[in-house]
Structure formats: C-alpha cells, structure tokens
Amino acid sequence: MKTMTPEKVAELEEIARQLRVDSLRLIHRRGAGHPGGALSAAEIIAVLYFHVLRINPADPTWDDRDRFILSKGHASAALYSALTRRGFFSFSELDNWGEVDCPHQGHPDRLKTPGVDMTSGILGHGVAIGDGLAMAARLKKLSYHTYVLLGDGECQAGVVWEGVMTAAKYRLSNLTAIVDCNDVQLDGPIHEVMPLEPFGDKWAAYGWHVVEVDGHLVRQVAEALELASEVHDRPTVILAHTTKGKGVSFMENQSYWHGNVPNTEQLNQALAELGEVAHG
C-alpha cells in the first residue's frame, strides 16, 4: 500500500475544507440545495477526486476512466465544487446556478455537466447502475474501477439491495460502494426513522467485503479505497462514519440542515468556523 505523506494528508484536508466552503457559498447564492450531506461527504469526495480517481478533465469521456456515481445526488454542491477544482469546468459557470439558463442542474445531470458519469437525484440507483458499469468493464476488458457514493438513509430503498445482490452474484470486485454514514435523514435520525443496524452485517451477509472508517479522516478513507482495489473476489463497501453538517457547529447532526439554506448571517458564521474570511 502506498503510504500517504503528511503533506498529501494536509493537502486533501485543505481540499475538503474548500469543498465545504464552496458548497455553502453555492447553496447560499442559489437559495436552494442540501448543505448537510455535502458537508458530511467532503473528505470522501476530496480523496476520490484528488487522490484516487483516474480521470482526465481534458477528456471527460475517456473510455477507461474510473467511473464515479454520486448516488446521493443531493450532495451536488460538493461534487460541482470538486469538478471545478479538478478542472472539468470553470467555477464561474456556477455563478447562475439555479437559473434556467445554467446548464448545471439542482441534481447531477450527465448530459449537462462534464465529468458527471451518471444522472442522479432519486435515491437508490447508484449500486445497480454501478453493477452495469462494472460488468461492461469486464466484458470490454477495461481496467477502470467504478465507485458509488451513497447516503445511509438511501439504503432504506429496496432497489439498493437488489443492486447489492447482483454485485455479489457477479463478484464485481471492480465496484466499490462508499456509504456516507451520517445517521441523519430528512425527517430525523436514521435510527429513529428506519433503523439500518446492524448495517455492516447486512452488507457482509449479502457477500460484500466490508470496511468501516472515520469518513472525516482522509488517510483512513484513502487506505480503505486502496484496500478495496486489492480484494479480487467480491465488491467492497466502505462504511464511512461521518457527521452531517460537519464543520459548522449549528448544522452538525441537525436534520433541519438536510435541505435548508443558510441566510447571510448564518453563512458568514459557517465560513468563519471553516476558517474562511467572511465577506460582508
């Protein structure tokens, strides 16, 4: 396993911080979006886009690129931020995010945003679509790996488990799922709305290799992703334990911030807590 230098760790941590700042600014300016799940996924997305994914912004449809599906499509702000910082398109294209003439949609749209491998927004699709991409890689003898990022609440949807079964049947070791386990969904705590535990046991019982990490520690996330590529007889799921609204004290663990928008005062406080100089 490649050891990650302290410099690389610091770099990814800084990128995650920037993704949080960008996400909140984007959501505030648009007056719509989903801050809680964007903040919880920041390290996961930072590690994927700036350490793991073999992608080429100059050739976003390259046949053998790694594929990434943001199955929890409501975290679009964090994805758009990563794509712009990775060079797929200019951040200024998001100046009018939310206007009808902005190509970039509320939820990711593969036909409109370069670098988006699959349209998402309705929860539950990512694993099964990832199955198909992984099968296609195998049939075409391509070496790309498919990564799917899900929310934990999303795993209440039955079609997720249909996709999980299918991946196990075909032993799709070129597929890795990451679950952003922040234990909060729109209506409240997941363990109250519809409990998932014993969550890891469920994935294991379905035949997946299960790894659990702290989803805010970039080194753990990166190592888990690297380990996944060394498992050759089954797909891997990384249960990344996170905090919804991570980094902003008043948003943390609050279901209210699943889909609500900070006002200017709240934005400035949030940016200050994230170490960003506030703008009047």
Partner 1 sequence: MAEQSMREAYGRALAEYGSANPQVVALDVDTSTSTLSNFFAQRFPERFFNIGIAEPCMVDVAAGLALGGFIPFINGFASLLALRALEQIRTCVCYARTNVKIVANYAGISDFKDGATHYSITDLANLRALPGMAVIVPADADEAAAWVPVVAEYDGPVYLRISRAGTLPAYHAGTRLEIGKGLTLRPGRDLTLVATGAMVGRCIEAAEELKTLGGGGSIIKKNTLKPLDRDLLIQAAEETGAIVTAEEHNIIGGLGSAVAETLAEAHPVPLERVGIHDHFCPTGRNLDQLMDACGLSVAEVVTSAQRVLERK
List contacts with partner 1 (CB under 8 A). Answer: 63, 67, 109-111, 117-119, 121-122, 125, 128-137, 139-140, 158-159, 162-163, 165-166, 170
102 or 159: CB nearest partner 1:
159
Query: CB 276 → partner 1: shortest distance, Å?
Result: 35
135 or 217: CB nearest partner 1:
135
- Tokens matching residue 91: 């951040």
Query: CB 257 → partner 1: shortest distance, Å?
Result: 26
Burial-class residue 79 by CB neighbours within 10 Å (0-12, 13-18, 19+): buried
Angstrom distances, CA of residue 260 to CA of 24, 28, 116, 140: 11, 10, 24, 43
91 or 170: CB nearest partner 1:
170
16 or 53: CB nearest partner 1:
53
Query: CB 165 → partner 1: shortest distance, Å?
Result: 7
- Tokens matching residue 229: 């590529």
Query: CB 278 → partner 1: shortest distance, Å?
Result: 38
- Cβ contacts of residue 188 below 8 Å, gap of 6+? 255
Q: Is the dihedral of CA 246, 247, 252, 256 positive or negative?
A: negative
Please report where in the chains the tokens 């170490």 appear, as a residue.
275
Query: CB 173 → partner 1: shortest distance, Å?
Result: 16
Query: CB 135 → partner 1: shortest distance, Å?
Result: 6
46 or 53: CB nearest partner 1:
53
Helix (H, G, I), strand (E, B) or coil at 127: helix
Helix (H, G, I), strand (E, B) or coil at 155: helix
Task: Give the CA radius of gyration of the chain.
Answer: 18
CA pair distance 24, 270, nearest whole angstrom: 8
Angstrom distances, CA of residue 141 to CA of 144, 161, 168: 9, 26, 19
Query: CB 183 → partner 1: shortest distance, Å?
Result: 26
**Residue 175 pairs with which residues in a beta bridge?**
146
Q: Where are the beta strands (DSSP E) in the chain?
A: 67-70, 146-151, 175-181, 184-185, 188-189, 209-214, 236-241
Other CB atoms within 10 A of residue 235 CB:
29
166 or 176: CB nearest partner 1:
166
179 or 271: CB nearest partner 1:
179
